[in-house]
A and B are shown apart, each in its own frame.
Chain A
Amino acid sequence: MSDQAPPVLTPAVHTVGLTRTYGSMTALSDLNLTVNRGDLFGFIGSNGAGKTTSLRILATFLTPTSGTAKVLGCDVVTQSDEVRHLIGYMPDFFGVYKDMEVTEYLDFFAACYKIPSASRDKTVSDVLELVGLSEKKGALIGALSRGMQQRLGLARVLIHDPQLLLLDEPASGLDPRARIEMMAILQELQRLGKTIIISSHILSELQSLCNRVAIIEKGKLIYAGPVQGVRDQMSEGPVYWVTVAHGTQAQAIEVIKRCDGIKEVEMADGKIKVSLVSSETDPAAISGALVTSGLRLLGFREDEIGLEEVFMRVTRGDTQ
C-alpha cells in the first residue's frame, strides 16, 4: 500500500484523449483526466453524462474507441489483467447471487482473485468487519436489506486489497444514515492509503468528502481539480451578501456601486447581493465605504456557493 509507494509516483489514473462512441452517439469525448494516489476523487455529472462509461473503461469492461487510459501505470487495454488485480470496481448494480450466503459469496470472489484458501477465512471476516456486516456472515444475500447488499458489494471490492477503488454511485438507494456510514467507511479507506474514485449525483456529500472532483457533461470534462477551485473557475467572481438597516438599502446600493471592481449589485431577499469582478477586489473596501457614508452595516458575509449550485450552473440540466 501507500507506505511502500515507489519513489516516482505514477498517478492512480491517467487518461489521454479518452473517447468512446456507441454507434453515432459519443458517450465520452476526449477525456483528459489525472487522479493522484491517495485522492478521494468525486466524479460528477447528470444522467447520461458518461460517468459509468468512463468507470467501465477504467475497469476494463469497455475498450475505448480512441485514446488511452492508464491505471497505476498499466494500460487498461494492453495490460488488462494487471489492471484487474489493481482495482476494485463496484458497478451501479449489485451483482449478487441471492441464494448464496454472505461468506459463500465473498469466498467465491476471493477465489476469483486467487486468494489462497488458507487466508481466505481471515480476509473475508476482515472485510466484513470493515463494512460492518460481521453479524450477517451466515445470512442469505437475498435476505439482506438494500443498504446491506451495497455494503456487501463494498466488501467484495475490498477483498483483494486493491489500491484503486472505482465506485459507481455507491450511495444511491441508501437512507441518510446508511449514506453517512458509507461515507465514513470511504474516508477510513482513504486514510488507509487507497485511491477512491466515486461517481455520484449527491453533490453535497462529495463536497465534504472528496478532496478533488471532476465535473463531466455530455461526455466532456468541464472541470477537474480541488473542490475549492470549482467556484473560482466556474463562477465569474466572488459574491457577498450585505445586510443594512431597513429602509437604507437603496442608499447602500448607490454607495456600493461607486466602489471599484464591482460587477453587479442587486436586491435579493431583502439583502444586497454584490458580485465582484474578480477575487482580487478587496471586499473590505465595500464595508469601509458603507460605514463611512453613515449606514448601519448589520451583516457582511461571503456567499457560500456550494457544489450543488456550481453543478447547476455549469450543466444546463440537459441529458444526452
Chain B
Amino acid sequence: MLEVVERELRVASRSRGIFASRAVAAGIPLAILLYYHLVMQSFYGRMSGSGLFNTLMYLALFAVSFGGLRSTSDSITSEKREGTLGLLFLTALSATDVIAGKFAAYGLRSFYSLIATLPMIALSLLLGGVTGGEFLCGSLLLLNTLFFSLALGLVCSTFFKRQNAALGVASALMMVLMLAGFLVQAALEWWQIRPPDVVVHLFSPLMAFAKISNSFMGADPQFFWIHVGFLQALGWLCLLLAKRGVRECWKEVVVANTFTRMNWLNWRSWPSLLVESSQSLAAYRNRALSHSPYYWRVTRSKILRMLPWSSVILAVLAICCGFVFDSGFVRQGGFAVFVLVILHLVFRVMLAASAAFVMVEDRLSGGLELALGTPLTVKRLLHGYYWGIWRNFGGPLATIILLELAIFSWVAFIEADLDKEMVRMMICFCLNLVVDCLAIVPLTLWKAIDLNKPQHAAGIAGLRILVVPGVLFVLLVSLAHPDGDSVAIIWVFINFFNALLNGGISDRKLRDHLRERVASRFTAKIPLV
C-alpha cells in the first residue's frame, strides 16, 4: 500500500498545481474576508462574524463537494488509459492497497487545500458571534464531506475509462444527493405524508449545514452526528464498491469501446445508460458525417449533448421544489422568475463554454489544421460547428422558452389581472436570450482561435455579450429616465444591436481569416505533442 502512496506522492510533488490549488483555496476566502471587512462594514457598521462564517462555510462545502470529485476522478482512469493498472496487480498489491493508496495520494491535494482554507474561516471567530465549537463542527463537516466526495470520485473513476465521463457521472450523482432531500420531501408530500425534518436535511452537506447553523447544536445536536455518520457510511460504501470494481476493471485494459447491454440487475452495465451502443453510434456517425464532418465532431459526445438539458432539468426541479415548499412568493411567480434568470445566465455560459471547448481542442490537437488541408471549405466547416452546437443547445433553448410561456400562462390564469410590466419584461428576456445565443457562438469561436484556454474565450464572449450591453443599459436608463415602455424597448434594442454587431463581425472574421489564423498560429506558438 505504501508503495502506491509513495509513487503518487512523488508524482504529485513534482506538479506545481498542488501549490497553486492551495494558494487559490486560501485566496478566495481571504478575498471574501477583505470584501466583508472593507465594503460591508463601511455600509453597515460592525457586523457579527456569523454571517461571514456562514457564507464561507457554504462556499467551502460547495467547493469541497465538487473539488474532491475532481481530484480522484482521474486516479484510476489514468492508470487504465496508460495500461499500468494491471502492472500494479502483478506486484503483491491487493485491491484494498490500490484503493487506499490512490485515495490517500489523490486526496492529499484536496486535503491540503482544505487545511489552507480553515485558518481563513477561523478568522471569522475574531469578529465574534461564532464559537469555537461551531468552528470545530464546521471543520469536521468539511472534512467529512471531502471524504465522501473523494470516495465518490474514486468509485466513478474505477467504472469509467475517460476522466470526463467519470467526473460527469460523479458530479451528477453529487447533484442528485444535494437535491435528494427536496425530492424525497416532494414525493412524501404528494402522498400526504408530512416528512420529518431530518429527511430533508440529511442528504446534502449544504442542507445539513443550513439546519445546523440555524439551530446550532442547541435544538438538535444529534442531527449533526446523524448527518456525519450518514455521509461516512455512504463514503465507505463507495470505497467498498471501488475495491470490488478495481479488481475487475484492469483486466479490460484493452481500450476497445465494448458495449455491454443494459441490464438493470447488473450494476456493471449501468454506465451504458450514458454510452451508446457502437451500432447506433456508427449509424449516427454516418448520418451526421454526410451533413458535415464537424457537425458530427461537435455532436458526438453524449455528455456534451446532455449538458444543456441537465441545466434545464435542474431548473425545472428547482421550480417544482419551490412550489412544494413555498406558497406566497411562488404564487406570484417570484421564485420561478428568479430560477429562470439564473437559468438564462447559466445557459449562455454553457453555450459559450462548449463552443470554446470544441474550438480550442480542435486547434490544439492539430485536427482542425489537418481538416483545413482537405478540400473541406471554411464555409462547410463553420456550418458544421454552428449546426452541431445548435443541435446540442436548440432543444433545450426551445424548452426554456416554452417553459417560460407555460409559467406565464399559469400565473396569468391564477392572477386575474396580470402585471403588464412583468409580461413585457419576460418577453424581452426571452428575445434577448435567443439573440444572445445566436451571437455568442461565432463570437466565442472567433475568440477561441487565438486563446489556448477555453475558459478565457468563453469569459471574453460573456463579457462582450452580457456585461457590456448591461452596463450600457444601466447608464442610459439612469441618465435619460425613460418611462416603463421605453425601458423595455431600449433594453431589447441595445442587446440586439450589440449581439448583431458582435455576432456578425465574428462570423465575417471567421469566414475570412479562419484558415490563415489556424495555420499560422499553429506553427508560431503552440508546443506540439
Task: Give the B-binding residues of A (Cβ under 8 A).
Answer: 52, 56, 59-62, 81, 84-85, 89, 91-99, 101, 104, 107-114, 117, 120, 138-140, 142-143, 156, 160
12 other A-B residue contacts (CB within 8 Å) besides A81-B377, A117-B290: A81-B375, A97-B367, A108-B296, A108-B297, A109-B293, A109-B370, A110-B289, A111-B290, A112-B371, A140-B161, A140-B255, A143-B81
Q: Any chain A CB within 8 A of the CB of B257?
A: yes
In the assembled complex, the Cα of A62 lies from the Cα of B515 at a distance in Å of: 10
Q: Is the CB of A96 within 8 A of B365?
A: yes
Q: Is the CB of B286 within 8 A of A117?
A: yes
Q: Is the CB of B293 within 8 A of A111?
A: yes
Contacts across chains A and B counted by CB atoms under 8 Å: 90
Contact residues in B for A112 (Cβ distance below 8 Å): 293, 371, 374-376
In the assembled complex, the Cα of A139 lies from the Cα of B162 at a distance in Å of: 13
Contact residues in B for A89 (Cβ distance below 8 Å): 370, 373
A-B CB contact pairs (8 Å), 26 listed: A56-B523, A89-B373, A94-B366, A95-B365, A95-B366, A96-B366, A97-B365, A101-B257, A108-B293, A108-B296, A109-B293, A109-B374, A110-B289, A111-B292, A111-B296, A112-B293, A112-B371, A112-B375, A113-B375, A114-B375, A117-B289, A138-B256, A139-B255, A140-B161, A142-B81, A143-B81
Contact residues in B for A95 (Cβ distance below 8 Å): 365-367, 369-370
Q: Is the CB of B289 within 8 A of A113?
A: no
In the assembled complex, the Cα of A91 lies from the Cα of B523 at a distance in Å of: 11
Q: Any chain A CB within 8 A of the CB of B528?
A: yes
- Contacts A93-B528, A117-B286; is A61 near B255 (CB within 8 Å)? no
Residues in B201-260 with C-beta less than 8 Å from chain A: 254-257
Of A52, A84, A94, A104, the contact of B375 (CB 8 Å cutoff): A84
Residues of B within 8 Å of A, CB-based: how many?
A: 36
B135 nearest CB across to chain A (Å): 44
Contact residues in B for A160 (Cβ distance below 8 Å): 374
Contact residues in B for A108 (Cβ distance below 8 Å): 289, 293, 296-297
In the assembled complex, the Cα of A198 lies from the Cα of B256 at a distance in Å of: 33
Contact residues in B for A117 (Cβ distance below 8 Å): 286, 289-290
Q: Is the CB of B373 within 8 A of A62?
A: no
- Contacts A61-B373, A109-B374, A140-B257; is A94 near B529 (CB within 8 Å)? yes
Q: Is the CB of B365 within 8 A of A113?
A: no
A99 nearest CB across to chain B (Å): 6
Chain A residue at minimal CB-CB distance from B528: A93
Contact residues in A for B520 (Cβ distance below 8 Å): 62
Of B162, B293, B519, B528, the contact of A61 (CB 8 Å cutoff): B519
Q: Any chain A CB within 8 A of the CB of B271?
A: no
Contact residues in A for B519 (Cβ distance below 8 Å): 56, 61-62
Q: Any chain A CB within 8 A of the CB of B83?
A: yes
A252 nearest CB across to chain B (Å): 55
**Residue among B83, B257, B375 with max Cβ neighbours from chain A (10 Å):** B375
Q: Is the CB of A113 within 8 A of B374?
A: yes
Q: Is the CB of A91 within 8 A of B293?
A: no
Q: Any chain A CB within 8 A of the CB of B464?
A: no
B16 nearest CB across to chain A (Å): 23
Contact residues in A for B289 (Cβ distance below 8 Å): 107-108, 110-111, 117, 120
In the assembled complex, the Cα of A133 lies from the Cα of B229 at a distance in Å of: 53
Q: Any chain A CB within 8 A of the CB of B285?
A: yes
B253 nearest CB across to chain A (Å): 9
In the assembled complex, the Cα of A155 lies from the Cα of B285 at a distance in Å of: 19
A91 nearest CB across to chain B (Å): 7
Contact residues in A for B257 (Cβ distance below 8 Å): 101, 138, 140
A202 nearest CB across to chain B (Å): 18
In the assembled complex, the Cα of A72 lies from the Cα of B528 at a distance in Å of: 31
A237 nearest CB across to chain B (Å): 42
B519 nearest CB across to chain A (Å): 4
Q: Is the CB of A84 within 8 A of B290?
A: no
In the assembled complex, the Cα of A81 lies from the Cα of B377 at a distance in Å of: 8
Contact residues in A for B370 (Cβ distance below 8 Å): 89, 91, 95, 109, 156
9 closest residue pairs by CB, A with B: A95-B366, A143-B255, A111-B289, A112-B374, A93-B528, A111-B293, A95-B370, A112-B376, A61-B519
B67 nearest CB across to chain A (Å): 24
Of A59, A92, A111, A139, the contact of B373 (CB 8 Å cutoff): A59
Contact residues in B for A92 (Cβ distance below 8 Å): 528
Interface 0/1 of B348-372, CB less than 8 Å to A = 0000000000000100011101111
Interface 0/1 of B128-158, CB less than 8 Å to A = 0000000000000000000000000000000
B235 nearest CB across to chain A (Å): 30
Contact residues in B for A94 (Cβ distance below 8 Å): 366, 529
In the assembled complex, the Cα of A89 lies from the Cα of B286 at a distance in Å of: 25
In the assembled complex, the Cα of A140 lies from the Cα of B367 at a distance in Å of: 15
Q: Is the CB of B374 within 8 A of A84?
A: yes
In the assembled complex, the Cα of A94 lies from the Cα of B528 at a distance in Å of: 9
Interface 0/1 of B150-179, CB less than 8 Å to A = 000000000001100000000000000000
B370 nearest CB across to chain A (Å): 4
- Contacts A81-B375, A101-B257; is A107 near B285 (CB within 8 Å)? yes
Chain B residue at minimal CB-CB distance from A63: B516
Interface 0/1 of B383-394, CB less than 8 Å to A = 000000000000
In the assembled complex, the Cα of A60 lies from the Cα of B375 at a distance in Å of: 11
Residues in B509-529 with C-beta less than 8 Å from chain A: 519-520, 523, 528-529
Of B81, B296, B373, the contact of A84 (CB 8 Å cutoff): B373
In the assembled complex, the Cα of A143 lies from the Cα of B278 at a distance in Å of: 18
In the assembled complex, the Cα of A96 lies from the Cα of B300 at a distance in Å of: 16
**Residue among A99, A139, A142, A156 with max Cβ neighbours from chain B (10 Å):** A99
Chain B residue at minimal CB-CB distance from A95: B366
